[in-house]
Amino acid sequence: MKIGLLSVVMFVACGLFGTAAHAQNAPAFPPLNDGTSKTVPFSQWKFHDTGARGVDGVTKIEAADAYGDMANGQHGTIFRFTSGFISPVHTHTYDYYAVVIQGETENYEVGVKPIKMWPGSYWYQRGKKAHTTACVSKEPCLAFIVQSQKFDAQPPPEEE
């Protein structure tokens, strides 16, 4: 992938998500403590294992914080999915927005036909909706996710 494409995708994503956050009356992107702008080349992102594993028990998701802290509140985070990752059906407490940066990704709710998404594709995941997320390319998948609350995942509630 060309660095130029990554820059364009990130610029568009920030514009989309900034507008969406404002529309939901969420606070604007948090400034740095010293009030300066920030530039981080991809080579400097520090990924950590999220602990999430695919249905095979081997593939995984790693994450790098762009801003905020995904475990505790509002954040912008780059997720890296191992090639072949397919999540178990799960839900999140809160809505989130995502843009595919690398690879071929699918994110679909139970009973809905998957749609392949390439770099530049966007999805919105409503909280509490059971869904699956997959990296179906031969290369790892990257997605930039923005959320006004913390990121979590859990099995869907049992149907009564």
Q: Domain ranges for the chain, please list them.
A: 3-147
49 CA to centre of own chain: 14
Q: pTM (2 decimals)?
A: 0.79
* pLDDT for the residue 158: 80
* Token code pair at residue 118: 């390439």
Question: 42: which DSSP letter?
Answer: G
* pLDDT for the residue 26: 46
Going residue by residue through the chain (160 aa), what tens digit of pLDDT does each one get? Answer: 444 544 444 444 445 444 444 444 445 555 556 678 888 899 999 999 999 999 999 999 999 999 999 999 999 999 999 999 999 999 999 999 999 999 999 999 999 999 999 999 999 999 999 999 999 999 999 999 999 999 999 999 885 3
* pLDDT for the residue 160: 39
- Give the Cα separation of 144 and 123 in Å (integer): 10
List, in sequence order, every residue forming a beta bridge with 134; answer none if it has no partner.
86, 106
The letter for the amino acid at 105 is T
Question: 14: which DSSP letter?
Answer: H
- Give the Cα separation of 160 and 150 in Å (integer): 28
Q: Which CATH superfamily is domain 3-147 in?
A: Jelly Rolls (2.60.120.10)
